[in-house]
């Protein structure tokens, strides 16, 4: 949903527009299911509609291709819609694009409806201990300001000092200064011409023991270079619970 809404927002920039999120129950008969390349049955549809630039047919046909993007260099990895498509298809669903150039786009997800009983009780997550940081410095590189702010707030509440920036070059500037950094926490897909892995590799030239935690929303191997992580580098994949992220940060700093 975050990827779809970010794309819709960008499609309406800079003039603005209206973003609409709709959900519905759908019963697809043989004909409707065949049109969507699905099995007949009950589905939940989630549709995100914008009033932005729209897509030409040739662009819509490639929208789910990995690394395909119409955004300017450094402003998109071309992996967001690919991740959405992969998740929906692995769940037994389908995605459809309805778009008119100059008028807007609707992205509709069709997900199989679950017909079983809901769990009577949601198991509680184990309580975290009351360990707090002792002023260790975490450098957070994340281009989405809302996510960056949430991470920084959580870590600061746990007693860490946080330096947060929005792109690769700004993060590398901090790392190449004499500033203390105990852990680098970076998204892999970043604007500015340097992705998270490139920032980490460049930083380790002068900080060989730097601990690095990568955040990625797509396949781990593609994110970090065929899975070749050096000692002291780890990965956490989106979506993640902020508490789980904080626990991982604590574990890596204490190790």
Phi-psi region of 183 (alpha: psi -120 to 50; beta: other; left: phi over 0): beta
Q: With 70 as the cut, is the pLDDT of residue 147 above it?
A: yes
Q: Are 183 and 139 in contact (CB under 8 A)?
A: yes
Q: Which residue has the higher pLDDT, 125 or 16?
A: 16
Closest C-alpha among 55, 253, 81 to residue 159: 253
Query: Is 226's pLDDT higher than 50?
Result: no
Q: How confident is the model at residue 237 (pLDDT cuts 50, 70, 90)?
A: confident
Contact 79, 64 (CB under 8 A): no
231 pLDDT band (50/70/90 cuts)?
confident
The pLDDT, as a whole number, for residue 221 is 45
Closest CA to 184 of 2, 221, 225, 173: 173
Q: Quick one: pLDDT at residue 219?
A: 47
- Whether 198 shows a pLDDT value over 80: the answer reads yes
Taking Cα atoms as reference points, which of 185, 199, 207, 177 lies closest to residue 138? Answer: 185
Mean pLDDT of 66-87: 63
CATH of domain 137-254: 3.40.50.2300
Tens of pLDDT, residue by residue over 27-38, are 999 998 898 889
Residue-by-residue DSSP string for 114-160: P-SPPPSSPPPPPPP------S-EEEEE-S-HHHHHHHHHHHHHTT-
pLDDT for position 118 = 78
Rounded to the nearest integer, the mean pLDDT of the chain is: 83
Q: Is the pLDDT of residue 124 over 60?
A: no
Q: Beta strands 211-216 and 233-237: pairing type?
A: parallel
pLDDT at 68: 58
Question: What are the extents of the domains in the chain?
Answer: 2-112, 137-254
Tell me if residue 194 falls in helix, strand or coil. Answer: coil
Q: What is the pLDDT of residue 69?
A: 62
Structural class in CATH, domain 2-112: alpha beta
């Amino acid at each position: 949903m975050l990827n779809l809404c970010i794309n819709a927002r960008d499609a309406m920039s800079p003039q603005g527009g209206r973003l609409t999120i709709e959900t519905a129950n759908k019963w697809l008969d043989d004909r409707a299911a065949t049109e969507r390349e699905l099995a007949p049955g009950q589905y939940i549809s989630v549709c995100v509609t914008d009033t932005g630039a729209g897509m030409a047919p040739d662009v819509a046909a490639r929208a789910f291709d990995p690394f395909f993007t119409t955004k300017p260099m450094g402003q998109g990895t071309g992996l967001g819609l690919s991740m959405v498509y992969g998740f929906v298809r692995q769940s037994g669903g389908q995605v459809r694009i309805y778009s008119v150039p100059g008028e807007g786009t609707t992205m509709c997800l069709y997900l199989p409806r679950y017909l079983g009983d809901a769990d009577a009780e949601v198991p509680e997550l184990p309580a975290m201990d009351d360990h707090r940081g002792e002023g260790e410095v975490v450098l957070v590189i994340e281009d989405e300001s809302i996510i960056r702010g949430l991470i920084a707030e959580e870590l600061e509440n746990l007693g860490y000092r946080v330096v947060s920036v929005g792109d690769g070059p700004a993060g590398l500037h901090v790392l190449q200064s004499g500033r203390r950094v105990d852990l680098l926490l970076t998204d892999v897909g970043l604007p500015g011409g340097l992705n998270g892995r490139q920032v980490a590799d460049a930083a380790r030239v002068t900080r060989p023991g730097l601990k690095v935690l990568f955040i990625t929303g797509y396949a781990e191997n593609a994110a970090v270079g065929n899975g070749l992580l050096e000692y002291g580098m780890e990965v956490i994949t989106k979506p993640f619970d902020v508490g789980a992220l904080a626990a991982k940060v604590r574990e890596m700093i204490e190790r």
